Every structure is written in C-alpha cells, then in structure tokens.
Chains A and B, each alone.
Chain A
Amino acid sequence: MPRYYFDSRDNEKFVSDEIGVEVASLQEVKTLASTAMAELARDVLPGSVARRLAIEVRDEFGLLLSVCLRFEIEPARQIR
C-alpha cells in the first residue's frame, strides 16, 4: 500500500507529518483527510473567531490534494 503524509496548517502554524500512513485507495485518503480535519476542527475551533485550517496530503511524488476549512463568526447584527 502506498504511504501518504498528512501535513496540517492551523492559521500560520504548520505541522509536518513525518510518519505517514499507508492507505489503500484515493477514496480512503480523502475520507481519512476529512476525518482528521473534523477532529482538528473540533479541538481548535471552540473559542476561535477566525481560523483557516488545511490538511495537505503528500505522496512520494509531492502534494496530492488539500482539504481546507475556513471558519468565521459573522455577526448578523449589533451584539452587545
């Protein structure tokens, strides 16, 4: 099975995946990246105002795909 590396970005903070994971198919790569994004978001979004999160998947040939999430709290009216 090919090995994929899932680097993550949380605003400016970059965490490189130095271990990687063996994944059987591209579909599973997408599912795994999405699950990891959901878990990262759950950990960091509460208490945030604006956040850009990304999980960038690399294989032996370089960057393969990114999963991105932009989080904002948009006030709809004046809140005291």
Chain B
Amino acid sequence: MPGSPTAALVQKLTKTNRLDQDDILAIQQLPIQSKRVPAQHCFVHDGDRPSESCLIVDGFAFRSKLTPDGQRQILSLHIPGEIPDLQSLHLHVMDHDLTTLTECTLGFIKHEALRELNLRRPNVASALWRETLIDAAIFREWIVNVGRRPARVRTAHLLAELYERLELIGRTTNGSFELPITQIELADCLGLSVVHVNRTLQELRHDGLIATERRTFHLLDKSGVEEAGQFEKIYLHQRPAL
C-alpha cells in the first residue's frame, strides 16, 4: 500500500482535521526522505537529539522504555500516517526509544522544513498540534488500561482501539486487521506475561469474540469486543475539530 510519503500524512491529517487545498499542497511539497527499515530496528534512541522527525509511511512502530533490570514496557503502537517523534521538534532530547514492529517505510522530515511549514500554514500547525493532543489522549487511555483493567478487558480494549484507528485509514476489512505482532511484543504492550496474554486470547477466542491467524486479528463480534474491553472511542477524537 505504500504510496508517496506525503500521501500517508495527508490521508491521516485530513481525516482528523479540516485542511484547505493550499494546506494540503504545502504538505505535499514537504521534502521527505524515504527509507525502508527492517522490523525490530530502533530508529530513534532514548537520549538522541534528532534534527528530523519520522513519518510512518507504511508498517507499524512502537515507543518503549526499558527498566534497569531489562523489562520492557511498550508505551504506544503507531500506524501509517503518524509521526511518533513529532515532539522532538520542540523537546530536543528523546526520552524513549522508537522501534519498528514490522518492516517499515519511514519518511524523515527535517525539523527546519516542519518549522517553516508551521509558520507558513497555521492550519497545518494546528493540525499537527492536535495530532500530538490525540496522541496524549491515547496515552491516558493506555495508562488506565495497564494500570486498572484486568487482562481480559485490557486485551479486548487494545484490539478494539487498534481496529478503530486502522479503520480510519482504510486498513481494515470485514472486521479484520493485519498486525504482525509477536507474543512478546503484545505482552509488553499489555504489561503482562506472554503466558497470561495467551490464556486471555484463548478465552476471547473460546467466547467467539475474536479469531487470530498468523498476522491477522478478526473481531468476529466487534461490539462484543468493545463491550469486553470497556471501549468508548471518544478519546480517539476522530472527527475534525470545528
């Protein structure tokens, strides 16, 4: 599905923001350097001082932190059209790692180019600001998820959220989405052991809510999954701001 790098960004931004033709044109003219990056590659490190931000054109990536004893917590999952290190435009030192979950096409955008775009097109600046606010809203929900929800609710919530986010960018089909995630990565997203996550997935399958294949999750009963996950999609703020 990888088109031009800016197409992924325009698709995402125009779903959640109101941008006019000149805004879109300005985004399309952004100088972006595309790179194909293998899976499991840490492309921005904790402590780095980046001079560019990184758009996911195709594939999945995640933010994570490691505890001193080597336990990893995945903090967020990122999908095409997102710029997970957009904050490095204003926060100059990275405070977490960014890693590809799958093989990705990444689009590197120089901070100067983003600053210039923001000054020239205030609508685009607002849209990018709004994206970081939605990102923060997703984090708040993630904290509730790993902090307060039992495994079954936690797992169902994550699947329901990913479905909604991927549906918005046209990456779902008939209740299914592709997410090539390993057992360990899913466990690190949920803050649980691989064994407990497998057990929980087995229960969700047994109850007829989901089916899983190697890289595909099928939500057989989407509203059942949302109910099991106590999922309310308001926090995703998917409608354009007025």
Contacts and interface: CB of A to CB of B under 8 A. Distances in A.
11 contacts: A6-B199, A15-B202, A15-B206, A19-B202, A21-B183, A32-B195, A33-B195, A35-B195, A36-B193, A39-B192, A39-B193
Interface of A is mostly: mixed
Contact-size category for A: 10 to 19
Contacts of A18: 202
Interface of B: 150-152, 183, 192-196, 198-199, 201-203, 206
Given A8-B199, A15-B203, A19-B198, 18 more contacts: A6-B198, A6-B199, A15-B206, A17-B199, A18-B202, A19-B201, A21-B194, A21-B198, A32-B194, A32-B195, A33-B195, A35-B195, A35-B196, A36-B193, A39-B151, A42-B150, A43-B150, A43-B152
A68 B70 CA distance: 27
B139 to A, nearest CB: 23
A33 B194 CA distance: 10
Contacts of B194: 21, 32
B151 A17 contact: no
Contact of A43 (B151, B198, B201, B206): B151
B193 A35 contact: yes
Contacts of A17: 195, 198-199, 202
Contacts of B192: 39
Contacts of B201: 19
A39 B91 CA distance: 36
Interface in A1-33: 6, 8, 15-21, 32-33
B196 A40 contact: yes
A16 B198 CA distance: 10
Contacts of B195: 6, 17, 21, 32-33, 35-36, 55
A25 to B, nearest CB: 15
Nearest to A7: B199
A15 B199 contact: yes
Given A21-B194, A35-B193, A40 B202 contact: no
Contacts of A6: 195, 198-199
B210 to A, nearest CB: 13
A43 B196 CA distance: 10
Contact of B196 (A16, A19, A20, A39): A39
